[in-house]
């Protein structure tokens, strides 16, 4: 029985270790980018033109360059310029990758938010104002949920993309699941030249993106109580 073999057990344990890193990166990116994206979207809609232009310039730069390049630049350039160091080893690599992912995804999210906020009819804001609500109350009590309803489908696409994009982290040797899968090609823990672990990683991605899709669909259903 292959699944009981020592080879499978060893590879399985290694892939799990890699997948935990993948998941950690995934959740930290969401936890950071979802609120930061909102801040950036406010910047891009600011009534103060210099802030608005600056924010849009940043969004353009981040969306206009490949994430993989941002990871490399963010990890190597600051220490090479003697600005600061990310720290050595696994934790330094992870911090740099996480910052790159949060920034990159926050910029993508901010554009989705902007579309969502601007898609809520102006009359909603006016109705709130006339009823003596503050802008903060209008945002949280009136606009936010309508915006969320609008952005769930495009956000779902981005989130599924993020599941797969985490694999880019291996460009600076963050040992996520694909890196671990590849390690058995070259030799790892006594096994060398194994091809199947690399392709077996697909099982993890499929399972996780499947689960994510189900949860996001459920959220979409939950928001169907109003139109």
- Give the pair of three-digit tokens for residue 76: 């190597």
Least CB distance to other proteins at residue 104 (A): 10
For other proteins, the closer of residues 189 and 217 by Cβ is 189
- Give the pair of three-digit tokens for residue 161: 């993309």
- Give the pair of three-digit tokens for residue 190: 């006594």
* Phi (first) and psi of residue 86, to 5 degrees: -85, -5
Stretch that binds other proteins, among 22-30, 133-141, 155-163, 210-218 (CB under 8 A): 133-141
* Residues 163-222 interacting with other proteins (rule: CB under 8 A): 170-173, 175, 182-183, 185-190, 192-195
Least CB distance to other proteins at residue 212 (A): 25
Q: How far apart are CA 97 and CA 21, in angstroms?
A: 11
Cβ atoms 173, 70 nearer than 8 A: no
For other proteins, the closer of residues 1 and 81 by Cβ is 81
Least CB distance to other proteins at residue 13 (A): 9
Interface residue with other proteins, options 5, 27, 118, 135 (CB under 8 A): 135
* Residues 31-60 interacting with other proteins (rule: CB under 8 A): 36, 39-40, 43, 54, 57-58
For other proteins, the closer of residues 195 and 214 by Cβ is 195
Q: How far apart are CA 86 and CA 34, in angstroms?
A: 23
Interface residue with other proteins, options 61, 202, 207, 211 (CB under 8 A): 61
Q: How far is CA 99 from CA 23, 96, 104, in A?
A: 15, 5, 8
- Indicate whether 131 belongs to the interface with other proteins (CB under 8 A): yes
According to DSSP, residue 189 is labeled: T
* Residues 70-109 interacting with other proteins (rule: CB under 8 A): 70, 72-92, 95-96, 99, 102-103, 106
Task: Please name which of 89, 96, 88, 46 lies closest in space to residue 68, comparing C-alpha atoms.
Answer: 96
- Give the pair of three-digit tokens for residue 182: 């590849």
């Amino acid at each position: 029985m292959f699944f009981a073999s020592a080879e499978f057990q060893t590879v399985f344990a290694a892939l799990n270790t890699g997948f935990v890193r993948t998941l950690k990166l995934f959740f930290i990116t969401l936890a950071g980018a979802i609120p930061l994206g909102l801040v950036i979207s406010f910047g891009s809609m600011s009534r103060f033109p210099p802030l608005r232009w600056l924010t849009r310039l940043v969004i353009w730069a981040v969306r206009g360059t490949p994430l993989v390049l941002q990871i490399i630049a963010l990890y190597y350039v600051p220490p090479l310029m003697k600005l600061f160091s990310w720290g050595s080893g696994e934790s330094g690599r992870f911090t740099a990758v996480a910052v790159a992912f949060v920034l990159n995804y926050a910029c993508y999210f901010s554009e989705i938010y902007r579309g969502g906020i601007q898609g809520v009819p102006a009359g909603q804001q006016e109705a709130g104002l006339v009823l003596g609500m503050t802008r903060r109350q209008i945002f949280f009590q009136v606009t936010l949920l309508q915006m969320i309803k609008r952005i769930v489908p495009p956000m779902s696409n981005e989130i599924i993309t993020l599941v797969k994009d985490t694999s880019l982290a291996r460009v600076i040797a963050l040992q996520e699941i694909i890196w671990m899968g590849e390690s058995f090609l070259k030799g790892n823990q006594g096994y060398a030249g194994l091809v199947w672990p690399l392709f077996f990683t697909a099982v993890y991605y499929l399972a996780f993106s499947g689960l994510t899709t189900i949860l996001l669909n459920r959220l979409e259903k939950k928001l169907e109580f109003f139109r």
